Copies of this chain bind each other. A is one copy, B any other.
């Protein structure tokens, strides 16, 4: 094929480092990912990884931070994941496995039915806008806003490298620039629609909750075990190191400026 448009973590069996360009447990938010991608060397690492498979890859979308998901019963501590039949693909699912969950990798089309029949106890999906369309509020009432598993979910376009190299510089630039526009356009599409959908879910009787600190601590510990599994791969370890360094370098200012501002604004305006 000449080109694909997908979430790169579908290809972790080809190489685990593809996960960094979609989302990884305890990883970057969409804004932090863009900081790394466009100005911290992330795009170059994406190209380096793609080259192994004859691809030239660009970020071209993002869902934002995905929801913690739908549960048939409230989660009060990490022990509630023990034996829980939960649908979560990817590295997040591996982490839940370390917490004792029975992780079910069902295809998307089967999830609603499995949850309705009680074959699974819960599922993560995307966020309010997509989750409402999937109809999970008809079956379960406990919905967790922030999850640990996909703090951002980047989408990529990748072009066959031979095809890309045969293009003119302006054609190549058109692909790169269109991907960047799609990136901001798609992220804002999710974020704009999630807010209104969340209000509708609340109105439909969904209990919107946050995981307690003890659960986050357990998520963190389990996620580290997942990273440890892959650290034997030099390219994975090297990209992880860059990724974490960039995350630390750009997160402090976001917290002290954007988030401090928003906190004060929302407090003063009563938003």
Give the interface of A toward B (CB within 8 A).
Answer: 26, 29-31, 34-40, 64-67, 127-128, 145-148, 151, 174, 176-181, 183-185, 187-189, 191-196, 198-199, 208, 210-211, 213, 216-217, 219-220, 246-262, 264-269, 271
Contact = CB atoms under 8 A, between A and B. Distances in A.
A265 B26 contact: yes
B29 A258 contact: yes
B145 A191 contact: no
Question: Quick one: which of A151, A198, A258 has the most chain B CB within 10 A?
Answer: A258
A251 B266 CA distance: 9
B257 A251 contact: no
B252 A65 contact: no
14 contacts: A26-B265, A29-B262, A38-B184, A39-B188, A39-B192, A39-B193, A128-B253, A146-B257, A176-B181, A181-B184, A192-B246, A220-B269, A248-B271, A251-B262
A258 B179 CA distance: 23
Contact of A259 (B40, B67, B193, B262): B262
Listed residue (A176, A183, A213, A265) with the most chain B CB atoms within 10 angstroms of its CB? A265
8 nearest CB pairs, A to B: A180-B181, A220-B268, A39-B192, A146-B261, A145-B256, A35-B192, A146-B260, A184-B184
B255 A262 contact: yes
Nearest to A260: B146
Contacts of A177: 177-178, 181
